[in-house]
A and B are shown apart, each in its own frame.
Chain A
Amino acid sequence: MATDTDTARIEGFGEVSRVRGIVFEYLSLGASVLGIFALAVLLIYVTIDAFDLAGTSPVWLLTYFVTLVVPFLAFCLYSARDREVTRRAVTVSGGGLVAVAAVFTAIETFVGQIPRLNWQLAYLFVVVAPLTGYLVYVGARGRPGAVGFGLVGRLIGGTAIGLAFSVLFLVFDERLWFLAYTIGIVPAALVYGYGRVRDVSVASAAAIPIAVLGVLVAVLLRPVVDVYPTTVFIYLWTLAIPIAAAGALLVNGRGNRTAALVAGGVPLALAVVIGLFGRAAGLGVGGPNALLVISVAGVPTAVYLHRVFDVGEGVTGLGVPVLLVGGALVGAFVVETFGIPTPNPWVSETFLTEAPSRNARDAGLYPAIVGSVIIIAMVAVFSFVLGVATSVFLEEYTADSGVIGALTRLLQINIANLAAVPSVVYGLLGLGLFANLLGFGFGTAVTVSLTLSLLILPITIISAQEAIRSVPDDLRRGSDAMGATRWQTTKNVVLPEAFPGILTGTILALGRAIGETAPLIMVGAATTVFSAPSSLFSKFSAMPMQIYAWANFPQEEFRYGVVAAGVITLLIILIGMNGTAILLRNRAERGT
């Protein structure tokens, strides 16, 4: 690289030195690569520990590589239909194998032993994982890939949302929900629908007051009424049927009545049958939660299937779930038949469904997962509602000048500074305000979620303000000139346009809330709880608290295996949550 800044004269034109820019570019690149590399090494080791990959026999890895990974990658290549990509993928996987094995052996021979890693694992992480990511990305651009990944996404996402719902019902009273739904929401929806169909605007306007009134009546009736249907029936009536009806309406809107009945009816019937008789028939699943999960995952899947068949392109992509499940089953069969030793991962069914234990192998994260999910749901609602309301007030309603303007600026400065206040201080505030003064109790869900909401509120407000400010003034003036009130302009023009930006800020802020420990310790959240919470005022723990507690255990199994499993679980839930929110946001961006 030339370092002289003189311009060399070549045939008339000078040459302008770009040395500083180039140095800056490569320094930045180097720094980012270094950061990503460090994080990757950490995550690789956490994964190895959590899944006990260090003790895995290479034959086991090879079996699943052949039955699961290779067919999946082949599908991605088939979807991409790009000779160049195929050639590149084969070169990388083959050449990578040789290169990784050679480099690994060289390091082991000349430098020293690399702990808990062998060349097969190194190949898996260095070549196979990035290659899979790349091929999924390329494959999704082909029609079969898009269809296949869309289907898998709906199945997994629906299941996760269904499970989250069932977790929420652990602390929220489903009987109160039943009353509120029956007395408030159903009549309101009927009145609204009537108003829309018959073009009676009074009826549409009456829907919200009816809903509010109904919910209030339900709250009053809850202590009086003591005859309720079973939980299965409540879930069926309040969740499964409306979801199925919404799915059917969606398909019907595309103009096919029979398909609508099938798309709504089949998942509903499946959910009811398994929910009612699954246990009795010895399926291993059943009960109200099964009904909930199957309907939440099934209906969107059915609607999606209808659309895929309607469009008629990339139908082969629907084989992806079969490919994945089939690959796993074949792999299991081969492992079983040939007696290949299987690894003993820390992230297991026990870990996800059992309470913590003194014995590392029996330790579970279930109460903490439930706690985190409930806290996050409440924080999302509190901080979103408060944050959007505050930012709308600050951006659209307050004046810029005069006394009000000065007060607004003061408020603005305060909010900006609050974003920089350490989380321990928020913990102290939560302890004093919510736990002591308002008497919500130490370490209860209400106290913890209100404290975390306060903690992320400044971030939510500032990002929502940015989003609202970026809505062009032309649109506001256009709406004002039509004779819209400030509220109508905000509701109809500003908020829909700012929504994706607001959601981005909330997602980032929630990511921070889910990982917080310090304020939780301050408000007295338990590090370890042995049973899932049963009400909003019972003792709570959250995943980071539990992981932190395990990290202090003397046994090595805890510090390596169980902590790693906890971290992986936390990350997966965080990524799943963010992923869902980002998908929602992208949909909102495209939807307008």
Chain B
Amino acid sequence: MSNTPSSDTRSSDSLITTDVETGSNDRTAESRATAVATRDLNVYYGDEQAIDDVSMDIPENRVTALIGPSGCGKSTFLRCINRMNDMIEVCRVEGEVEFGGKNVYDADVDPVALRRRIGMVFQKPNPFPKSIRDNVAYGLKIQGFDGDVDERVEESLKGAALWDEVKDQLDSSGLDLSGGQQQRLCIARAIAPDPEVILMDEPTSALDPVAASKIEDLIDDLAEEYTVIIVTHNMQQAARISDRTAVFLTGGRLVEYDDTAKIFEDPEEQRVEDYITGKFG
């Protein structure tokens, strides 16, 4: 196993306290264009409301973390952005999600075309039962990519910090990799078609701490090129890797959304502070 290049200078072993080091030192949220914005977003599963009137602007080329207790609607929010909720028959979405200058829920938006511009990484690594090369090239294949596939595969694997580990076994099955490698393979798969936004739904919760820290380093690098929106249950992780943090609390309400440093050091809301310090949730 090779070591992942780490540009991270922050301490990764600090626990959540009110004075934890937070946010990326060299990136601030100001003066950034908005990549994704929601306006009065409401989502219902049947009669149950999963998202309650959420409006937020997610900045370009930044890592935005969504945190909150289980069932607070953060994953639902994530899936609204690339319309993966369309697959759930009882799910109903009201309000707007703006991406690329358009409301993605407009009638003339093809969800398949939308998803080609937004990559997604799931909680459980889900590589296809194909070779590593075919896994990474999958998006290129279905989108009819006309360039040099092998070159793009190499670039993407390097981008996912996996190239050195798998460059000699590109034809072996993606399922033969370890859990952490599989998740990085899924990240490589997601970035291969060069999307604008990458959605991550608890990408490290099924991994051991070493593999998780590799992914965290990777997310930091990815923000150079992509807008990353990540759902996490792990507060230290949100504090370490994100620039902006949105806190959802029960009922799908967005309680507070600000720079990560602000959220973790001096939140406006008492409930947020309670949640972050573990008094509730």
* Chain A residues within 8 Å of B, Cβ to Cβ: 199, 201, 399-401, 472, 474-475, 477-485, 488, 492-493, 496-497, 592
Contact = CB atoms under 8 A, between A and B. Distances in A.
A497 B84 contact: no
A480 B82 CA distance: 10
Contact of A477 (B113, B126, B189): B126
Interface in B101-121: 112-117, 119-120
Interface of B: 82, 84, 87, 89-90, 112-117, 119-120, 122, 124, 126-130, 138-139, 141-144, 146, 148, 173, 186, 189-190, 193
Given A475-B128, A485-B112, A497-B129, A480 B138 contact: no
B128 A479 contact: yes
B115 A478 contact: no
A35 B84 CA distance: 53
A125 B201 CA distance: 63
Shortest 4 CB-CB distances between A and B: which pairs?
Answer: A483-B116, A481-B120, A483-B115, A474-B126
B193 A483 contact: yes
A492 B142 contact: yes
A468 to B, nearest CB: 14
B130 A592 contact: yes
A592 B173 contact: yes
A201 B144 CA distance: 8
A138 to B, nearest CB: 29
B58 to A, nearest CB: 18
A330 B230 CA distance: 76
A399 B89 contact: yes
B128 A481 contact: no
Nearest to B86: A480
Contact of A480 (B87, B117, B129): B87
Contact of B129 (A201, A477, A592): A592
A480 B84 contact: yes
B46 to A, nearest CB: 11
Given A482-B190, A496-B129, A592-B173, A477 B87 contact: yes
B186 A478 contact: yes
With a 10 A CB-CB cut-off, give which of B114, B142, B143 has the most chain A CB atoms.
Answer: B142
With a 10 A CB-CB cut-off, give which of A477, A480, A482 has the most chain B CB atoms.
Answer: A482
A483 B143 contact: yes
A568 B199 CA distance: 62
A482 B129 contact: no
Contacts of B115: 480-483
Contacts of A400: 89
Nearest to A489: B142
B126 A478 contact: yes
A483 B112 CA distance: 5
Contacts of B90: 401
Given A201-B146, A482-B120, A484-B142, 7 more contacts: A401-B89, A472-B126, A478-B186, A480-B87, A482-B115, A483-B114, A492-B141
Given A201-B146, A483-B113, A478 B87 contact: no
A199 B129 contact: no
A482 B126 contact: no
15 contacts: A201-B146, A400-B89, A401-B90, A472-B126, A474-B126, A475-B126, A475-B128, A477-B126, A481-B122, A482-B119, A483-B193, A485-B142, A492-B138, A492-B142, A592-B130
A202 to B, nearest CB: 9
A447 B142 CA distance: 41
Given A475-B126, A479-B138, A497-B129, A484 B112 contact: yes
Contacts of B144: 201
B130 A482 contact: no
A482 B193 contact: yes
Contacts of A488: 142
B174 to A, nearest CB: 10
Given A493-B128, A497-B129, A481 B84 contact: yes
A488 B115 CA distance: 14
A201 B142 CA distance: 12
Given A400-B89, A484-B142, A492-B142, A478 B112 contact: no
Contacts of A483: 112-117, 139, 142-143, 193
A326 B141 CA distance: 53
A403 to B, nearest CB: 13
B138 A477 contact: no
Contacts of A480: 84, 87, 115
A482 B129 CA distance: 16
A493 B143 CA distance: 15
With a 10 A CB-CB cut-off, give which of B126, B130, B143, B148 has the most chain A CB atoms.
Answer: B126
Given A481-B84, A497-B129, A474 B122 contact: yes
A493 B129 CA distance: 8
Nearest to A400: B89
Nearest to B89: A401
Nearest to B149: A199
A475 B138 CA distance: 12
A481 B82 contact: yes
Contact of A199 (B112, B146, B186, B190): B146
Nearest to A484: B142
A482 B87 contact: no
A340 B263 CA distance: 99
Nearest to B121: A481
Contacts of B128: 475, 478-479, 492-493
A383 to B, nearest CB: 26
Nearest to A405: B89
A479 B186 CA distance: 11
A101 to B, nearest CB: 54
A488 B112 CA distance: 11
Nearest to B116: A483
Nearest to B90: A401
Contacts of A496: 129-130
Contacts of A401: 89-90
